[in-house]
Amino acid sequence: MDPRKEIERLSAEIRRHDYLYYVLAQPEITDRAYDKLFQQLQELEAAHPELVSPDSPTQRVAGQPLEGFRTVIHPFPLLSLQNTYNEEEIRDFHRRVIEGLEGRESQYVCELKFDGVAVLLEYNDGLFVSGATRGDGTRGDDITANLRTIPSLPLRLRENILGRLYVRGEVIIEKQAFAAYNEEREAAGEKPFANPRNCVAGSLKLLNPMLVAQRPLKLFCYACVLTEQSIEETTQSGNLEMLSQLGFPASPHWKKCDSMDDVLNYWRHWETRRDTLPFEVDGVTVKVNRVQDQQILGVTARAPRWAMAFKFSPRQSQTRLNWISLQIGRTGAVTPVANLEPVELGGVTIRRATLHNEEEIARLDVREGDMVLLERGGDVIPKIVAVVTELRSAKSQPFRMPTACPVCNTRLIKDEGEAISRCPNEDCPEQVKKQIEHFSGRSAMDIDGMGSETVELLYEEGLLNNIGNIFDLAYEQIEPLERFAEKSAQNLLKGIEKAKSRPLERLIFGLGIRFVGEGTARLLALRYGSLADLSAATFEELQAVPEIGPRIARSIVEWFASPRNQSIIKKLREAGVRTESEHRGAAGEKFKELTFVLTGALQKFTREQAEEMIIAQGGRVTSSVSKKTSYVLVGANPGSKYEKAVKLGIPILSEAEFIEQLHSEDR
C-alpha cells in the first residue's frame, strides 16, 4: 500500500462525508463507520507525519492556544447594508437603482439575512488559507484557527479553482443546538448566553481552538469574489450557485426576482414563516443581480447603493418598568434609560431599554412602575413602544428630568431646537470615561485591552483624565493594579504604541467631535490631510466640503477652539501619534468649486476612488447632470447622463483626461 495514495483516498472520502453531513444534511454512513475512517487516517498520518497536509480533515483542530488575534487589512471594504422596515423605502431603493442605471430595469436576488457574525474567508488555488472577522469593515481579527474548527467550512474546494477566492459568510448557531448548549453550561454552573449571536461572537473570540471546536458553530456563505473572474457576465445568483458547487454551505432559500412586487412577495412569505427556520433571521437582503450593474451603482461611505436589508417586523413583549436611570454620553448627552423586569424577547433577555430623551418620555407618558410594551427594533435594539395604561397604579407620578447632571451635579442645558439635555462640563467624569472608551474603540484607535473596565480602573486610580493621557501610561503604573499582571500590562502598552500609527481618519473619528461619524472623518482626512490643517479650517471653508453642513462645521470649529482640546492635541503630537494622512500632499485645489458627475463603468479605478480623488482636490460629486455640472467623467457603456451632458454642452472627460487633469499643475 502506498501511504501517500491511501492518505489522499481517505481524506477525499472523509471530506465527501463531511459535505454530505454538515452541508447537505444527507449522511450516507453511520457515525461509527465515519469514526473508523477518521481513525484510519489518523493512524496513517501518525506513521507518516511528513505526508500530513494543511487541508487534511485531521487538521481542523490543531496547534497550541493563540496568544492573541492578529489584525488583518481586508482586500476590499466589507460594507454593511442600509436597513429598511417598510415597503415605501424598498420601492424608493428600486427607484434609485433605476436612476443609477439610467432608466434600465434590474433583476434582484433576495436572500435570508442571517443573525450571526460576519466573516471573510480566503482560498488560494482551492485551499483555505485564512479567515477574519468583518471588524470595522476595513480591518478585522485573524480567526483562521477558530474557523478551521467549523465542520461545514471546506478546507479544500470540491472543484479546482485557480487564483484567490474571497468568500463572505455568516457564522451562526442553530436554535436547537443553542438551547442544548446553554443547558450544558447551566448544568456545569456556567452563565448561559443571552442569544445565539452572542454565543457565536464569544466563541470566535476564544484563543483556544480546542474550545471553539466544542461549540456547535455552523457557516452559511452568501457572496464571493474570484480574482481571475471577469465581471461582465457575473451575477449574484451565479455566484450563489458556484458557492454550492464548490462545497460551501449556502442557503437554499434565495430567489431571483424580476420585479419589486416579486421582492415584496418573497419578504412577506418569510416574514410569516421565519419561526419555522432552524436558525435566526431578521429580514431579507435585496441585491442587484448583475455585478457589473453593482459596480456602476457604486457605494456610499458606509453601504452599497445596489443592496438593501429589508427587515422583518419587530417582535414584542410586555414587562414592568421598575425605575428610570440617566446615562451620560461622551458628548454630555443625558439619555434616560428604562430598567425593566427581565423578559425574554426573540430569544434574548432584555433588562434595559433607551427612552431617548425627555420628549419621548412625555410622548409615551411612561412612568416608573408602568407595564410597558417592549419591541426589538430589527430584532436587535430593545425599545418601549407603548404603555399599558389600564394596568397603571393610581399612585403613579409623571417622570421629571433632573436639572443637574447626576454624576458631577453641573446644571444641564438644552440647545435650541434639540430634544436632548446635555451636561456642559467637559471634565464630567462619566463624559471623560466615555470619550476614552470611544477613542480606544475598534472603529477609532483600536487599543487592544482598553475596554470599559480598564478605563474605569485607570480613571479611578487617577492615571487617565483625558484621551491625551493614554500615551503617558507607563508599565510601573499599570502592572501593580488590580486585574493587571506583567503580561496584560505589556499587552496594553503594546496596543497603545500601535495606536500611534492609525490612519488620520480614525484619529479624527476618535476625537469624538459631535456629529462627526466615520464617513465624515474620512472626508475630512481626504480634504485636509492633517490635523493641523483641519484645526485651522474656518466655518466657511468647512461648509464648502461636500456633505458637511453648518451644524457639523460649527461643531468642528467649536471643538478645536476649546483650550482643553488644544491641550489634548498637543499631547497627542508630543506622544508621536500620526496627525497627518499617509497620502499627505494629495489634497489640493485643482477641482475647487467644480462639480463632477460619474457615469459608465470605470476601468482604472473604482467610482469610490474617483470620488475620493475629486473630493481631495476640493471638488464635489453629484448624481445628476444639470447646467451647474462642471464635468462628466465617462467610463465604459455610459447611459443617459452622458447623452444629457452632450445635449447641455457639459465638458466630457475620459479616464485618461481626468488623470491628466489630476496630475497637471494647479490651475
Which residues have C-beta within 8 Å of that of residue 652, sequence separation ≥ 6? 631, 632, 634, 642, 645, 646
> Does pLDDT of 34 surpass 60?
yes
Instruction: Say what the pLDDT of residue 535 is.
Output: 95
Q: End-to-end distance of the chain based on CA atoms, in angstroms? A: 77
Instruction: Say what the pLDDT of residue 467 is.
Output: 96
Q: What is the pLDDT of residues 176-218, one digit of tens each?
A: 999 899 888 888 888 888 788 889 999 998 988 988 999 999 9
> Does pLDDT of 155 surpass 50?
yes
Which of 113, 218, 433, 590 is catalytic? The answer is 113
CATH class in words for 595-663: alpha beta
Confidence of residue 654 (pLDDT cuts 50, 70, 90): very high
Instruction: Say what the pLDDT of residue 637 is.
Output: 78
For CA atoms 624, 625, 627, 629, give the dihedral sign: positive
| Amino acid letter for position 450 | M
665 vs 135, higher pLDDT: 135
Distance CA 634, CA 103 (A): 17
> Does pLDDT of 506 surpass 80?
yes
> Does pLDDT of 64 surpass 70?
no
Continuous segment of H or E residues that includes residue 45? helix 31-47
For residue 490, give the nearest of 477, 479, 498, 500 by alpha carbon: 479
State what percent of residues in the chain have pLDDT above 70: 95
Distance CA 427, CA 466 (A): 8
Contact 567, 582 (CB under 8 A): no
Instruction: Say what the pLDDT of residue 667 is.
Output: 46
Confidence of residue 44 (pLDDT cuts 50, 70, 90): confident
How much is the average pLDDT of 434-445? 93
Q: What is the pLDDT of residues 323-347, one digit of tens each?
A: 999 999 999 999 999 999 999 886 6
| Amino acid letter for position 119 | V
CATH class in words for 3-51: mainly alpha
Shared fold status for 3-51 and 316-390 = no
Q: What is the pLDDT of residues 239-286, one digit of tens each?
A: 999 999 999 999 899 999 999 999 999 999 999 999 899 998 989 999
User: Is it true that domain 429-499 has CATH number 1.10.10.10?
Assistant: no
For residue 530, give the nearest of 515, 512, 510, 508 by alpha carbon: 508
Continuous segment of H or E residues that includes residue 596? strand 595-599
Confidence of residue 151 (pLDDT cuts 50, 70, 90): very high
Instruction: Say what the pLDDT of residue 360 is.
Output: 93
Place of cell 414584542: 316
CA atoms within 13 A on the CB side of 282: 20
Structural domain spans, the chain: 3-51, 83-311, 316-390, 429-499, 504-575, 595-663
Strands 127-133, 83-84: pairing is unpaired
Confidence of residue 443 (pLDDT cuts 50, 70, 90): confident
How much is the average pLDDT of 313-322? 90
Helix ranges (H only) for 158-205 are: 175-187, 196-204
How much is the average pLDDT of 47-69? 74
Contact 634, 653 (CB under 8 A): yes
> CATH fold of 83-311, please?
D-amino Acid Aminotransferase; Chain A, domain 1 (3.30.470)
How much is the average pLDDT of 659-665? 79
Instruction: Say what the pLDDT of residue 429 is.
Output: 96
Contact 374, 318 (CB under 8 A): yes
Mean pLDDT score across all residues of the chain: 89
**Residue 159, all three cell numbers:** 472543484
Whether 113 is a known active-site residue: answer yes
Q: What is the pLDDT of residues 521-546, one digit of tens each?
A: 988 998 888 999 999 999 998 987 86
Instruction: Say what the pLDDT of residue 225 is.
Output: 86
> Does pLDDT of 633 surpass 90?
yes
Burial 293-314 (b: 16+ CB within 10 A, else e): bbbbbbbebebbbbbbbbbbeb
How much is the average pLDDT of 370-383? 78
Q: What is the pLDDT of residues 546-597, one digit of tens each?
A: 678 899 999 999 999 999 999 999 999 999 999 998 655 556 778 888 899 9
> Does pLDDT of 60 surpass 80?
no
35 vs 279, higher pLDDT: 279
The size of the chain, in residues, is 667
Distance CA 659, CA 667 (A): 14
Distance CA 637, CA 647 (A): 17
Instruction: Say what the pLDDT of residue 46 is.
Output: 80
* 23-27, 366-370, 496-500, 612-616: range with lowest mean pLDDT: 23-27
Give the CATH H-level superfamily of domain 316-390.
Nucleic acid-binding proteins (2.40.50.140)
For the domain covering 504-575, report its CATH number.
1.10.150.20
